[in-house]
Amino acid sequence: MDYSQSLNYLYSLGHEVLAAKLGLESIVLLLEELGRPELAFRSVLVAGTNGKGSVAAMIEAIAREAGHRTALYTSPHLVRIEERICVDGLEISSSDFSRLATEVRRASDALVAEGRLAAPPTFFEQVTAIALSHFRESRVELAILEVGLGGRLDATNAVDPIVSVVTSIDYDHQNILGETITEIAAEKAAIIKPGARAVIGRQRFEAATEVLMRRCLEVNVLPVFANEPVNTGAGEGGRIAFDYESTLTNYSHILPGIRGRHQVENAAAAIEAAEILSGLGLAIPRRAIIKGLREVRWPGRLELIDEDRPALLLDGAHNIGGAKSLRAYIEEFWHGHLTLVFGAMGDKDIEAMAAELFPAATTIVLTRPRDPRSANNARQGAAALGSSRNVIFTETVPQALSWARSITPPDGLICVAGSLHLVGEVKRLIEKEDD
């Protein structure tokens, strides 16, 4: 298959979430058919509701700064599917992606033809297999894998990590993971495995902490809990400096490359993971931790694009926890005209997200990302009924961006939030404009 055929085939397998088939049978058989690529390197698994992608990116940046050959697997992508699969900070090439997609498809078809699987592995399972195969070919030392959904039955959990990291757990995907924090935490805690080390990030809910501790006891793993960082001041553009006392040492005035006070707690988890990795033989000096955190970038999360006016602030904010973090950032660092472009998925708690974000805006532009899960404007509009703000309804993201630019003064700010799918569409539009 060429690149276009590879994409068409993968997307024909069904929607990444709507057609998800949680369970490890298919991915385990697929990896066996491919010669167990995940055994060629050591891995870190990162799960959680909020911050897992940021923490994964931070750990990778730190390890790469220390001179190790690293890999990073994340989801979803914003613009290109290749964004999910990176080695030493570089995306997989389209030619390597299509070649490996062909190999993975051939292995999947063989499993079905032999009757070992009733249906081909899903989109996410096959992309995960492509990533692990690429990492083996690239001879990486360490792969940092962001869990896609949940943890226990996610395809990434077919990998046996040397370190498991669980970031902040909150309400999200209740229709799949369970209605309570206890149920959700149990799904994510399952990435903590016998023989591995565990890092527990700062938790909002005591029930989540209890579940994670219980899991560690069950599998005889002594966890490291991230301590509370001490903020020391705001840097340029909303980057927050902090001091931190880790399990092994003290750090002063660390300045992460990602904006927002919530990233300070994510950085604390990344520091603890990096120190454990160093103790496991992947030498990571103190300077690499400090510089790696300073240099890390994570697109679509409080990403500020200010080359043009009005400036754009892009943030996924796809659940209540993310909405709270975005609201806190806006209240602290922005005091002018704010146009909010909002479009969420229908399986989210839109009403709670709206209650957080809509009061911060001068004008609200509602829209629908091109995704079958997108909420309709009737529901989003109902969530805006109690708001005294101006509300504009649009059916497409290009319309929404055009409206936002037309009504926002040059010194104002357009904030795009509610879904990473929405952020991705906006980034694609901006790339086309630049071209």
Biggest distance spanned by C-alpha atoms of the chain: 63
Q: Classify the phi-psi angles of 148: left when phi > 0, otherwise alpha if psi is within -120 to 50, otherwise beta.
A: alpha
Judgement on whether residues 185 and 37 belong to the same structural domain of the protein: yes
Query: Is residue 291 located within the same domain as residue 314?
Result: no
How far is CA 10 from each of CA 15, 93, 125, rounded to the nearest angstrom? Answer: 10, 17, 10
Q: Which tokens hold the place of 259?
A: 């904006």
Total tally of structural domains belonging to the chain: 2
- Choose the final residue of a domain: 295, 324, 347: 295
Is 263 in the same domain as 407? no
User: What's the CATH number where 176 sits?
Assistant: 3.40.1190.10
pLDDT of residue 174: 79
Measured between alpha carbons, how far is 185 from 168 in angstroms, rounded to an integer? 10
User: Which stretches of the chain score pLDDT less than 50?
Assistant: none
If asked whether residues 84 and 176 sit together in one domain, one would say yes
Bond from prior residue into 310 cis (ω within 30 degrees of 0): yes
| pLDDT score at 377 | 87
pTM assigned to the model: 0.96
Domain boundary among 268, 295, 322: 295
Report pLDDT for 203: 95
Using alpha carbons, select from 245, 243, 241, 207 the residue that is nearest to residue 225: 245
DSSP state of 347: T
One domain for residues 95 and 21: yes
pLDDT, position 173:
78
- Look at residue 232 in the predicted model and tell me its pLDDT: 82
Instruction: Check whether residue 286 and residue 317 sit in a common domain.
Output: no
> What is the predicted pLDDT for the residue at 19?
66
Element holding 242 (H helix, E strand): strand 240-245
Q: Give CA separation, 19 vs 58, 323, 341, in Å.
A: 30, 26, 28
> What H or E segment, with its residue span, contains residue 117?
none
Q: Which residue range is the domain that position 242 belongs to?
A: 3-295
Q: Is residue 98 domain-shared with residue 247, that is, in the same domain?
A: yes
pLDDT at res. 388: 65
Tell me the Ramachandran region of residue 398: left when phi exceeds 0, alpha when psi lies from -120 to 50, beta otherwise.
Answer: alpha
Q: Are residues 88 and 104 in the same domain?
A: yes
| 401 and 261 inside one domain | no
Question: Which residues share a beta bridge with 241?
Answer: 233
**Integer Cα distance of 393 and 414 in angstroms:** 16
**pLDDT score at 21:** 72
Token pair for 112? 């079905």
In the listed set 295, 316, 337, which residue is the last one of a domain according to the structure? 295
Find, among 235, 247, 262, the residue nearest to 54 by Cα: 262
Same domain (yes/no): 237, 316: no
Which residues have a Cβ under 8 Å from the Cβ of 413 and sit 6 or more positions away? 310, 311, 312, 313, 334, 336, 337, 338, 339
Orientation angle between helical segments 320-333 and 350-357, nearest 10 degrees: 10
Identify the three-state secondary structure at position 227.
coil
Neighbours of 385 (CB within 10 A): 8
HSE of 114, CA atoms in CB hemisphere, 13 A: 10
Please, what is the angle between helix 286-295 and helix 262-279, to 10°?
Answer: 140
Alpha-carbon distance 345 to 16, whole Å?
13
What does each C-alpha distance from 53 to 63, 166, 409 come to in angstroms?
A: 16, 11, 33
- CA separation for the pair 370, 162 (Å, rounded): 38
Token digits for 68? Answer: 């190790």
DSSP 8-state assignment for residue 120: P
**For the domain that residue 380 is a member of, what is the CATH number?**
3.90.190.20
Do residues 313 and 271 both lie within one domain?
no
Q: What is the pLDDT of residue 338?
A: 97
* pLDDT tens, residue by residue, 112-156: 999 999 999 999 999 999 999 999 999 999 999 999 988 999 999
Same domain, 113 and 259: yes
